[in-house]
Every structure is written in structure tokens, then in C-alpha cells.
Structure 1
Amino acid sequence: MNEIKESLRNIEQSYKIFQQQQFTFIAALEHTRENAHDKIKPVSSIGQVQTYMDHHCNNTTDKRILLMFLNLCSDLSKLCQRLETLHSGNSTTNALLEKCKMLVSHSNDLSAIRAKYPHDVVNHLSCDEARNHYGGVVSLIPIILDCMKEWVAHSEKLPRNMIQSVSGKRGSQERRAAEEACRQGAAGTGLTVSGQPTSLSVATQTSLSLTDTPQESRRVQKKLQVGQGRTIGKLLDGPWKPPGKHSF
């Protein structure tokens, strides 16, 4: 959780720098929308900003500020994926996470969202800009940040036994599946996972259980291991063939 908080703080610091250049951001959108002959519709998605930068951006200043916006959205998307693997959560945290995932989607329509107090990003726009063009795109990042901070606050109130890494669970499941596959494969060849014949392995366990002392157990185990090696060697050598230069 501390790593999540640190990542969130870093994104917030980057956003503060971006926020100070909001007029530059709006000017870049104006220029690129004009080049794209797309000045009637509002800026309604992250993907739309990406298209403006990729295909309709003619100067480095516009490209720099548009790229800063897109990088912030990318960082928020990656953090959202990390939140998803941190713990299974409850209905409240899951609802917040789903909201974050929807907001960071490149195709999500953000034209209707508006950041409210204490955020003042919309207040820096003219009435026409806020209502018809840029109110949603300037509101996106502060709304996502608020949503993620709320997720962290609720997650810290969860019982400690609920804060269990989902990725850790998946890793354990994968290991168990791999071990089970090995056991099934060994059963088909008559060998144990360790490469010993199944029947000999059982015999070893039975013989060891009948001994009285650790020294006798080790002696019996060593003797049986030698016998196992000979038996496996015979199995691998195949059927006996008479000697001779034409034998193979």
C-alpha cells in the first residue's frame, strides 16, 4: 500500500506541473482541432487527444503539452492495474476501481464529466469552452486522482486478512497446477515426480516405517535406492540381446 501511495503522490506532482500549463493545453487542442477540421464536436476521449497529437500536431510546444496529458493518463492506467492486483476488496473499493478503469479507457466518453470544488480547472475556461468543448477533458485527471485516493482510504480500513495479494494467489495456483501436471505425467510413465518407480517409492516408505532407529532407516533407504537404480537401468536398457557384431 505504501508503494501505491508513493506512485499516487508522484502522479499528483506531475499533474500540478501540467495544471499550471492549462492555457497551453487548451491552445494546443485548439490548433490541432482546427487542423483536423473538427472544431464543432467537444473533445470527448483520450483516444481523440492521441489522434490529434499523432496526425494533426504541427509544432513542438503543442506536441509537448499533449504528450504530457497522455503520459499522465497512461500512468493512471498503469496504477489502476496495480490497484486491481493489490487485494480482492469489497463492494465499495471494487466500485471505485471500476470507475477508475472506465475513466482511463481511451474510448470512454468524458465530454459530460465535470470536476467540482475544490478543483477549479473548469473555472479557468470560458463559458463556451467549458460547456461545449473542453470541460470534460480538463476534468478527467483530477476526477481520477480523487477516485484513486478514495480507493486508498477505503482500502486502509479493510480487515488485515482481506489485504492479500491477488497476484500471490495466482502464483500459488499456477505452482499447484504445475505440480499436479508433473504428478499426472509421472503417473502415466510409472514414475514418481522425483523420477523413481512408483511401486519402489511406496516400498521404500513401508520399509522405513518398519525400522526402529534412524541409523537402520538410513541403511534400508540406501539399500533400496541402490536396488531402484539397478531396476531403472534395466528398464532403460531394454530387452536382452545375444552378443555379436550384428546385434544392435
Structure 2
Amino acid sequence: MNEVLETLKKIEDKYKLFQQQQFTFIKALERTREEAHDMIRPVSSIIQVQCYKDHHCFNATDRRILNMFVSLCNELRCLCQKMETAHAGDSVTHGLLEKCKLLLNDSNDLTALRAPYPHRVVNFLSVEESKHRYGGVVSLLPIVLDTMKAWVTHSKKYLIPNEKQCERCKYEDPRLGKKAPWVPPGNTSC
């Protein structure tokens, strides 16, 4: 579980850097779509971004930011696999992982995807036309990260045993550490 948490933290840090460069990402998508003569349809999948990067990107900055997006998607896929092997889980964690896998599928249609509040990634897109064309692709990462955080929260709360809980009396008090509130004289097994 610690490995999952460390990996998630590293990915979140990379996403923060990517988020600061969202306008660069949108401009790179616009330039590569123009180069591909594909200005009508919205950017609808990860594989489409990969194709733009591989075949229609001639600017180093554009290539770097598109590669950053694809790389983050790949790292999130790997994290899904780590989460799956971390522990068996229950129906809630399985559902959250399946949602992540579906969203991170290369050919999944992202056009209807929109990040909910408090994420403002779509609101930063200037024109309604841009929101329609790029809203799904900019919403992907925050939604997947939120889903993974929900998986971690649920796993910690319901599936991983609490170390601060006394096995015998099931009493939990964070102020006491691993000690039970009262132990009868001569009994030190807690």
C-alpha cells in the first residue's frame, strides 16, 4: 500500500506541473490538429493525442507537453495495476478501478467527459468551441486522480486493518497510541 501511495504522490506532482502548462497543451493540440487537417472533430481519445504527437508534431515544446500527457496516462495505467495487486478489495474498490481502467483505455471516447467542481480545468478554456473540442481530454487526468484518491481512502478506511486498534477490546483512541484506555491489573496483553 505504501508503494501505491508513493506512486500516486509522484503522479500528482507531475500532474500539478502539467496543469500549470494547460494552455501550452491546448495550443499544442491546436497546432497538431491543424497540421493533421483535423479541425472539425474534437480530441476524443488518448490514442488520438498520441497520433498527433507521433505524426503531426514538429515543434519541440508541443512534443514535450503532448508526451507529458501520454506519459501521465501510462503511469496512471501502471498505478491501476499496482492497486489491483495491492489487495483484493471489495466491490467499491473494484468499481473504482474499473472506472479508471475504462477512462484510461486508449480508444475510450472522452468527448462527454467533464471534470466536476472543484476542478476548473474546463473553465479555463476560453471559447465554448474550445470547451467542446478539448473539454474531455483536459478533464481526464483530474477525474482519474480523484477516483484513485477515493480508492485509497476507501481502502484505508474499510479494508486495511487499523494499527491503533487494540485487538482484544476493539477500542481506538489516537491519543493513546497502541495502549487500551484501561487495562486490569496484571493483564498487559494489549
Distance 1:159 1:10 in 2: 24
Structure 2: runs of 5 or more not aligned: 162-190
Q: Which residue of 1 aligns with 2:168?
A: none
The verdict on how the C-alpha distance between 1:159 and 1:53 changes in structure 2, with shifts beyond 3 A counting, is closer
**Distance between the aligned counterparts of 1:59 and 1:99, measured in 2?**
34
Structure 1 unaligned regions, length at least 5: 162-248
In structure 1, the partner of 2:158 is 158
Give CA deviations for 1:181-231 in whole Å, capped at 9, x if unaligned.
xxxxxxxxxxxxxxxxxxxxxxxxxxxxxxxxxxxxxxxxxxxxxxxxxxx
The amino acid that maps onto 2:103 is L
Secondary structure (helix, strand or coil) at the match of 2:43 reads coil
AA partner of residue 81 (structure 1): Q
Map 1:1-248 to 2 at 5 A. Answer: 1-126=1-126, 127-130=128-131, 132-160=132-160
Structure 1 or 2, whichever has the larger Rg, is 1
2:89–2:159 CA contact under 8 A, matched in 1: no
Distance 1:110 1:19 in 2: 18
Tell me which amino acid in the other structure corresponds to 2:7.
S
Using a 3 Å threshold, how does the CA distance of structure 1 residues 159 and 32 change in structure 2: closer, same or farther? closer
> Residue 55 and residue 159 in structure 1: after superposition, are their counterparts in 2 closer, same or farther (change >3 A)?
closer
Does the 8 Å contact 2:46/2:107 carry over to 1? yes
Letter in 1 for 2:109: D
SS in structure 2 opposite 1:47? helix
Q: 1: CA distance between counterparts of 2:139 and 2:61?
A: 22
User: Aligned partner of 2:98: which letter?
Assistant: E
Give the conservation status (yes or no) of the 8 Å contact 2:44–2:111: yes
Identity across matched positions, percent:
63
2: CA distance, partners of 1:10 / 1:98: 22
Distance 1:56 1:87, change over 3 A: same
TM-score, normalised relative to structure 2: 0.82
**Displacement of 1:144:** 0.2
The offset of 1:160, in angstroms, is 4.4
1:147-169, Cα deviation, whole Å (9 max, x unpaired): 000001111123447xxxxxxxx
1:155 partner letter: S
The 4+ residue runs of structure 1 with deviation greater than 3 A are none
What is the deviation of 1:74?
0.7
Report the aligned-residue RMSD.
1.0
Separation of aligned partners in 1, 2:159 and 2:114: 34
Give the superposition deviation at 1:86.
1.2
Going from structure 1 to structure 2, the CA distance change for 1:159 and 1:54 (only over 3 Å counts) comes to closer
